[in-house]
Amino acid sequence: MPEPMHIRNLQLDFGARTYVMGIVNMTPDSFSGDGLLAAGDPVRAAMAQAQRMVAEGADIIDVGGDSTRPGHESVDTAEEVSRVTAVVAGNRASMPGLPISIDTSKPDVAAAALGAGADIVNDVTGVTAGAALAPIAAAHGAPYIVMHDRAVPADDDVVAETVADLRQALVQAEAHGCDRWSLIVDPGIGFGKTAEQNLVLLRNLSALRELGRPVLLGTSRKSTIGKVLELPEDERLEGTLATTALGIAAGVDIVRVHDVVANVRTARMSDAIIRGGWTEPQP
């Protein structure tokens, strides 16, 4: 069992319960339709969304300024920095104890967000770029989330390849200065994998436990759910909740979601069944 991790005023006691990470997208074109950049005052809208998510039970907020939807062209560093730093700084000022994650693949964006008050680096290219953001996370003493992606989708055993790729990325992150206790892995559902491979990986999430690190699962509104259920992005809540519950049964520690209330309730019920520890209050 991974050892506890302290971030701001949150002690992540992995194994005791599941933690919920709320998604704040500072983009105009998020695949899930929740990009806030088109709002009249995007920073105010993002801060309001983060505050609502915390009130709904989110433990961590993940701020991103560059879409990862298929076919999207990445924005330049300066634009991404301008999208995320004001949101990070505003939320840090209004919610001093809130753990904030920066979702990026760019070193300068990660550094700017950490400087503005972010606590965690969430690297969507952790595998494909060889844990390139690890030195920045290490320099700030920040937890580092290593996500799995592939330039070429796996042809054979997607589970074995995902575990092997993540293991290598963990070695690279440690070589770049990260302490092992600060590393979190993400199997990268929807990244460099077919829908069938995503389902195989979801069926075998417990294989990630052999890495000895906390596991983050990000399936919220993903296209695999849409393909299986034949539903658009805004009708994939139930499918997402199924992956949350089954992920917790497989040992997932953090779920990254758009719909906080429903996922918090699903996580708490799943924890009561899977992890135990719940007792009925005495009158």
The residues annotated as belonging to the active site are 222, 256
How many residues appear in the chain? 283
Residue 258 three-state SS: coil
Q: Are 58 and 24 in contact (CB under 8 A)?
A: no
**β-strands 100-104, 19-25: how paired?**
unpaired
**β-strands 183-186, 216-217: how paired?**
unpaired
Q: Are 109 and 82 in contact (CB under 8 A)?
A: no
**Cα(132)–Cα(188) distance, rounded to whole angstroms?**
17
Q: Which helix (H) or strand (E) holds 104?
A: strand 100-104
How deeply is 57 buried, as exposed, middle or buried, from its count of CB atoms within 10 A (0-12, 13-18, 19+)?
A: middle
Select from 87, 1, 90 the least CA-distant residue to 37.
Answer: 87
Q: Are 62 and 99 in contact (CB under 8 A)?
A: no
Positive or negative: CA dihedral 19, 72, 65, 162: positive
Place of tokens 């990325």: 169
Q: For residue 32, what are its two tokens?
A: 């899930």
Alpha carbon distances (Å) from 177 to 111, 131, 145: 15, 11, 14
